[in-house]
Amino acid sequence: MKSEDNIRKANGRDDDNFIMLPTVDFCFKGLMNNPKVRKGFIAALLKKDPESIRETVLLPTVLSQEYQDDKLGILDVRVLMEDKTQIDMEMQVAYFDYWDARVLFYLSKIFADQLKKGEPYESLKKCIHISILDFIHFEKDTKCCRTICFCDEKTGKKYTDLMEIQILELKKLPPDIKSGDDLIKWMKFFGGKSRKEFAAMAKTDSYIEEAYKELEKLSADERAKLEYEARERAIRDYNSQMSSALRRGEQKGMERGLKRGMEQGLERGLQQGIQQGIQQGIQQGIQQGIQQGEHVALKHVIENMIKKGKSREEIAELLDLDLNEIAALTEE
């Protein structure tokens, strides 16, 4: 087995500046393994004094996968509170289809799995799902954190507090925010991108200071770094595959849309051409009919005038025609 020094040399990293980012779920889970960090963050979520939270127990979780060929899976953190409330937390860096449905599915599963065979429904305790998103999900507002629960649609009155979803959108945090809200402080910490940022935030809160210490400890652990980088690559590859699939889908959609548009355009053009041709034909036919009618009527007038003894010269003068026109009409 290689020593840590050999691994460090093999990877050729500048370890003096390296620090893990909490938006990588492996790092987030590592932070939540620290009881003090866990207590501080949960207190901010529940809007409680950290000292009022006596005990938080990590429940075992597995790297669950969405489907058989999924190579990424979900790395979540599940916590059991002293009052038996369960809190499931996950860090997400990119949106994917049916995200909302999946959140509801996992929250419902955690809630339902509490009951063992024969146990009464009154044994069910509150379950909370926390989604920390490093992307914008709700695009129509600027709220960076929200709580979702069952409510009466008309009155807005809460139906039950047994199931709850909290969504934190890190990308909606303004860069110059100076709020004293504990949850906002934690969101700023999770969204940090440099050692300097983490160090500055550590000065604002003793629990965040503990999180920064744990972050430094994780970042200095060579084997943890290897796992972190492997997870980071897996997330990057997954997002790249999703982006590539989206681009291919968009391209195919554009091609199909263009083809269909051209077909529809040609069909409409032909239809319009036929309709215009019919209309023009009708108009031309009417015009020709009028002209032919006038021609026949004029011929009859000339013939009647000749029968009454009028000369061609007199007829020409009366009808304002030349002799050639008179001759042509009488010879038909």
98-107 b/e with 16+ CB inside 10 Å = b?
eeeeebeebb
Q: What tens digit of pLDDT does each residue of 101-133 get?
A: 989 999 999 999 999 888 999 999 999 999 999
pLDDT on residue 286: 59
pLDDT of 183 over the 80 cut: yes
CA-CA distance, 31 to 262, in Å (whole number)? 56
For the cut 50, the answer to whether the pLDDT of residue 10 exceeds it is no
Question: Could you give the strand order of the β-sheet that contains 145-151, starting from the edge strand earlier in sequence?
Answer: 56-59, 76-81, 86-92, 127-133, 158-169, 145-151
What pLDDT band is residue 214 in, cutting at 50, 70 and 90? very high
Q: Which residues contact 299 (CB under 8 A, 6 or more apart)?
A: 329, 330, 332
Tens digit of pLDDT for each residue in 243-280?
676 677 677 767 776 777 677 777 777 777 677 766 77
pLDDT of amino acid 242: 66
Greater confidence, 281 or 153? 153
Q: How far is CA 163 from the centre of its chain?
A: 25
The residue type at 260 = R
Q: Tell me what the pLDDT averaged over the chain comes to.
A: 82
Q: In which band, very low, low, confident or very high, does the pLDDT at 67 lie, cut at 50, 70 and 90?
A: very low
Instruction: Give the per-residue pLDDT at 128.
Output: 97
How high is the pLDDT of residue 2?
Answer: 45
Strand partners, 257: none
Answer with the residue of higher pLDDT: 289 or 130: 130
Where do the domains of the chain lie? 12-220, 286-331
Q: Is the pTM of this model over 0.85?
A: no
pLDDT for res 211: 97
Is 197 a residue whose pLDDT tops 50?
yes
Kindly tell me if the per-residue pLDDT of 77 is higher than 80: yes
Rounded to whole angstroms, how far apart are CA atoms 302 and 246?
82
Q: Which residue has the higher pLDDT, 154 or 63?
A: 154
Ranges 1-10, 211-220, 278-287: which has the least confidence: 1-10
